[in-house]
Amino acid sequence: MTFTIKAALLSSAFALASPALAAGTHPVTGEKLADDQTFTYRVLDEHTSVDPQIVEDVSGSEIVRDLFEGLYNQDKDGNLVPGVATGYTTNDDKTVYTFTLRDNAKWSDGKPVTAGDFVYAWQRLADPATASEYQWYMEVMNIKNASAVMSGDAPVTDLGVKAIDDHTLEVTLEGSLPYFAKTTTHTSTFPTPKWAIDAYGADWIKPENIVVNGAYKLTEHVANERLVRERNEMYWNNDNTIIDKVVSLVINDENVALTRYQAGELDRTEIPAGQYPALKASNPDEATAFPRLCSYYYTINVSDNAPEFLKDVRVRQALSYAIDRDIITEKVLQGGQTPAYTFTPGATAGFEVPSVDYATWTQDERNAKAVDLMAEAGYDKSNPLELSLIYNTSEAHKKVAIAVSQMWKQNLGVKVSLENQEWKTFLNTRGEQNYEIARAGWCGDYNEASTFLDLVQSGSGYNDAKYNNAMVDELLADAKTMDDPQANYTKVEEIIAADMPLIPIYHYAGSFMIKSNLIGSWPVKNVEQNWYSKDLYKVAE
């Protein structure tokens, strides 16, 4: 009897000492786990902040997803899985969402995570005094009175979010938004501890002050060098978390990062441009490439003050047709990118790539058609078109620009002058339409086609081409409230392919070296690459 009690006590002691998992097997898959569960990865640049309502960059958001937890998380495939919320109900016209919060969620100081923490965080995001660069996300979420609160015309308490009780959060929207729950995986919607912010002000995110509700605590931060996060014992699902420690190292030079990866200092790093094929051949278990929700394109100035030749649709089409996208992806970049003929990447959830005409032709056909169109527009090799192409300073953009200008020259006789500009100067030039053709790239804010297609709306602040088509505007406006907007998206893509205010070139791919003991748990199928350290694990080798 005493023996059994002892054994029971011992086993419960082991169950409580959660890191014991690290030395054991994975609770779900049963894989044998490695003893050392430290995950070290490279980041290109120092993150902007770890404050959920302030952070505005990718590497910062990765850290925030470890330190804080919102209503919902994403799983390996990008599907919604419960975070602090266990579920939600909604009214018939999908304008009021009521979330139920789990009662075992705690902050790292032991306080329970309540609906009030979310209300505070969302009001803080919308508050003009916070001056968050992501304030507008409240408008993307379509929350009632977001605009009025942001402009200071209404108090923050008017925001359509309220705590019914500690574990019930009610959100009221301006209008129907069928995919509202999806928007809650964004870091700017994560709860924040009012008491810590009140006590420490802007310093609340320092390791010694910060209070978190995620799977990890911030334990060390040396700017531009490293950031360390370690297990948060208070996290509600700490028992099923396997990675003990996460270290992100700032290494600006990607080639140096690769060397350090090869020396065993890192578990994950980006593959430098052009090196994917060689690394895939030498380390097939570690080199991975997967589609990302991003498009690389050239935007054509079609604004009122654009040069006449760019207003000629035949010229725009010819320029697009004459680009051999296969050469760009397979010979120039070689990093798993896919040729683009539509603006929206095929990897986007619920989006079927429409078969636009020119995508189905061979390159020879496209070239022949391009020559004809140029001739119709009044240009040929004896009377060549001259234009300028600007791109922001970068080796990769330069390579693409040179390849494209060669294709234009050889096929159409077009004389291209290339110009590179420093990033912010470039953004300024492009934003003020002081260009003819400019390089552009766009990554989706969320996994839905409208995050791309909204760019061709005449009122969009991101529409650098100043493309204006009433039909497109109408189709996109209607799509917002449709249950299945695919038909509208197809039409918009077809109109873009015909009008060519932008030339899609390729869809991005992420290519990483990931250690073979970690790669099994890496969410390669999550196109947004929203990964959570709590879901990763290293297997024993």
Partner 1 sequence: MRQLETRSHQLGAKYRKFLVGRTGKSPGLVHIWEQFWRRLTLVKVKRAALLHGDRMFNFILRRVAVAIPTLIILLIASFWLMQSAPGGPFTSERPLPAQVLANIEAKYGLDQPTYVQLWNYVVGIVTEFDFGPSYKYKDRSVNDIIAQGFPVTLTYGVISFVLAIVVGGVLGMAAAIRQNSWLDYFAVGITIGAQVLPNFVMAPILILIFTLWLGWLPGGGWNGGEWQHLIMPVIALSTSYMASIARLTRSSMLEVLRSNFIRTARAKGLPDRTIIYRHALKPALLPVISYLGPAFVGMVTGSFIIDAIFGTGGIGYFYVNSAFNRDYAVMMGLTILLGSMTIMFNMVVDILYAWIDPKIRL
- Contact residues for partner 1 (CB under 8 A)? 45-51, 54, 128-129, 131-133, 135-136, 139, 147, 150-152, 205-206, 221-226, 249-253, 255-256, 259-260, 262-263, 265, 422-425, 427-429, 431, 441-442, 461-462
In the complex, minimum distance from the CB of residue 228 to partner 1, in angstroms, rounded to a whole number: 11
In the complex, the smallest distance separating the C-beta of residue 369 from partner 1, rounded to whole angstroms, is 32
Q: How far is the CB of 426 from partner 1 (least distance, A)?
A: 8
Compare residues 259 and 420 and give the one whose CB is closer to partner 1. 259
In the complex with partner 1, the residue whose CB is nearer, 238 or 468, is 468
CB of 21 to partner 1, least distance (A): 28
Q: How far is the CB of 73 from partner 1 (least distance, A)?
A: 24
With a CB cutoff of 8 Å and minimum separation 6, the contacts of 381 are: 412, 413
Residue (188 or 405) nearer to partner 1, CB: 188
Nearer to partner 1, 11 or 151 (CB): 151
Inter-residue contact 18 to 241 (CB < 8 Å): yes
Closest C-alpha among 460, 487, 328, 339 to residue 401: 328
Q: How far is the CB of 68 from partner 1 (least distance, A)?
A: 15
Q: What is the rounded distance in angstroms from the CA atom of residue 25 to the CA atom of residue 242?
A: 10
At its nearest, how many Å lie between partner 1 and the CB of residue 429? 7
- Our CB check for partner 1 shows the closer of 406 and 428 to be 428
Q: Least CB distance from residue 126 to partner 1, whole Å?
A: 10
Contact 246, 535 (CB under 8 A): no
Tokens of 531: 């990964």
- Residue type for position 395: E
Q: Which is nearer to partner 1, 183 or 490 (CB)?
A: 183
Residue 212 beta carbon to partner 1: minimum distance, rounded to whole angstroms: 14
Helices (H), 42-131: 58-67, 115-126
Q: How far is the CB of 66 from partner 1 (least distance, A)?
A: 16
Tokens encoding 216: 């990890």
Query: What angle (nearest 5°) sits at the alpha carbon of residue 133, between those of residues 132 and 135?
Result: 65
Q: At a CB cut-off of 8 Å and minimum separation 6, what does 103 contact? A: 112, 167
Give 100 or 132: the residue with its C-beta nearer to partner 1.
132
Burial of 153 (0-12, 13-18, 19+ CB in 10 A): exposed
Pick between residue 40 and residue 529 the one whose CB is nearest to partner 1. Answer: 40
Shortest reach from residue 329's CB to partner 1, in Å: 22
Q: How far apart are CA 304 and CA 314, in angstroms?
A: 18
Cβ closest to partner 1, residue 7 vs residue 256: 256
Q: Which long-range contacts (C-beta less than 8 Å, at least 24 apart) are formed by 147-152?
A: 149/123, 150/126, 152/128
Q: Tell me how far, at minimum, the Cβ of 294 lies from partner 1, in Å.
A: 11
Q: Which amino acid is at 101?
A: L
Backbone angles phi, psi at 446, to 5 degrees: -150, 170
How far apart are alpha carbons 103 and 84 in whole angstroms? 9
Task: Give the residue with the Cβ less far from partner 1, 299 or 490.
Answer: 299
**Nearest Cα residue to 411 out of 371, 379, 376, 358:** 371
CB contact at 8 A, 389 and 361: no
- Which CB, 106 or 480, lies closer to partner 1? 480
In the complex, what is the shortest distance from the CB of residue 385 to partner 1, in angstroms, rounded to a whole number?
A: 28
Torsion on CA atoms 527, 529, 533, 537, rounded to nearest 10: 50
CA distance 314 to 372: 9
- Of 327, 429, 328, 414, the C-alpha closest to 379 is 414
Per residue, the 3-state secondary structure of 404-470, as one string, reads HHHHHHHHHCCEEEEEEECHHHHHHHHHCCCCCEEEEEEECCCCCCHHHHHHHCCCCCCCCCCCCCH
- Name the residue nearer to partner 1 (CB basis): 261 or 506: 261
Alpha-helix residue ranges (DSSP H) falling in 346-394:
357-360, 363-376
Considering the complex, state which of residue 270 and residue 312 has its C-beta at the smaller distance from partner 1.
270
